[in-house]
Amino acid sequence: MKDLISIIIPTYNHGTYLDGCLNSIQQQTINNYEVVIIDNNSTDNTKSVIRKYNNLAIKYHLINNEGIYAKSRNMGIKNSSGNIIAFLDSDDWWKKEKLYECYKKINEGYDLIYHNLKLVGKKFKFKTNIIRGRKLKYPKFKDLIINGNQIWNSSVVVKKEILTKVKFINEKNEMKAAEDYNTWIKVCRESDKICFLDKTLGFYRFHERGGSRKNMSFCSLEAIREFKKNLTSSEYKKARSRIFYMNAKFFYEKKKFHFCKKKLKISFLNGSFLIKIKSFIHLILVFIKI
């Protein structure tokens, strides 16, 4: 295989999880890859875990990323030798056929591939434990902005030249936790050769303190702000209303119902049909709680 896949792994004090992460790479059914680990000066057993995998082609770099994962991922990309980039968080892991399945799609001419992940670490009574992607409608960058991000970081395989064209991952502190969302929008604006592979090829570890458990509305608004000029007024209102609905759900879970009601009114007035329905249902629930 002529192409080299560079697997970018940012990590910080995840030695316990990193073991399973690297083991899943070792089990891949193809071996045209290198592993680029960007360590935010871990103080646990991270280095000793890495030494166990001396059979892997590992590049190890230290960084002080100031809590901004984008800095680690960008360092990994810029220090990689491959023409294909695969992202993998150090607490996640892959099925053994992951790289093979995604590499096949790269050879079919796609620029970015993503897939479903199995959720590990949290039990849901009524929800599936599969976090699913979705096939994007044309124009794909608008679909992402208006309908939200379902491209999971540890599922993505993307051509390095595309990441270079979009000037890598935004490192603004205001966009922290939504910088991947911003990146996928930029990639989809650059290329329509985006493939959703409807297979579950990896595992996503749920943490109560994980970045996605915070209030994502502010960073998500920042992630879409630069694309306002590419949208009609109606499209941008729908995008913002979806994020206001997301903000309302956060306040609802925190039992801050008065804040929740204010956000729901905005999302109900300006959202897409689906967001209007969801907002209306939540408004009823809020009025019951107040």
pLDDT of residue 127: 61
Residues 55 and 161 in one domain: yes
Query: Angle, to 10 degrees, between the axis of helix 257-270 and the axis of helix 233-253?
Result: 160
pLDDT of residue 284: 93
- Exposure string for 85-119, b = 16+ CB within 10 A, e = fewer: bbbbbbbbbbbeebbebbbebbeeebbbbbbbbeb
Per the structure, the complete domain to which residue 266 belongs is given by 232-289
Q: Is residue 166 part of a domain?
A: yes
Residues 203 and 260 in one domain: no
Q: Is the peptide bond before 10 cis (omega within 30 degrees of 0)?
A: no
Closest CA to 46 of 55, 58, 31, 32: 58
Please tell me the pTM assigned to this model. 0.94
Residues 183 and 239 in one domain: no
Q: Is residue 102 part of a domain?
A: yes
What CATH number is associated with residue 18? 3.90.550.10
Q: Is residue 174 part of a domain?
A: yes
Per-residue pLDDT of the chain (290 residues; tens, 9 = 90+): 689 999 999 999 999 999 999 999 999 999 999 999 999 999 999 999 999 999 999 999 999 999 999 999 999 999 999 999 999 999 999 999 999 999 999 999 999 999 999 999 866 554 679 999 999 999 999 999 999 999 999 999 999 999 999 999 999 999 999 999 999 999 999 999 999 999 999 999 987 555 445 789 999 999 999 999 999 999 999 999 999 999 999 999 999 999 899 999 999 999 999 999 999 999 999 988 87
Structure tokens at 273: 């049909």
Residues 119 and 201 in one domain: yes
pLDDT of residue 290: 75
pLDDT of residue 169: 98
pLDDT of residue 2: 82
Closest CA to 42 of 70, 55, 26, 61: 61
The tally of domains found in the chain comes to 2
pLDDT of residue 214: 72
Q: Is residue 251 part of a domain?
A: yes
The number of beta carbons lying within 10 Å of the beta carbon of residue 273 is 8
pLDDT of residue 1: 64
pLDDT of residue 212: 47
Q: Is residue 222 part of a domain?
A: no
User: What does the alpha-carbon distance between residue 23 and residue 96 come to, in Å, rounded to a whole number?
Assistant: 10
Residues 194 and 248 in one domain: no
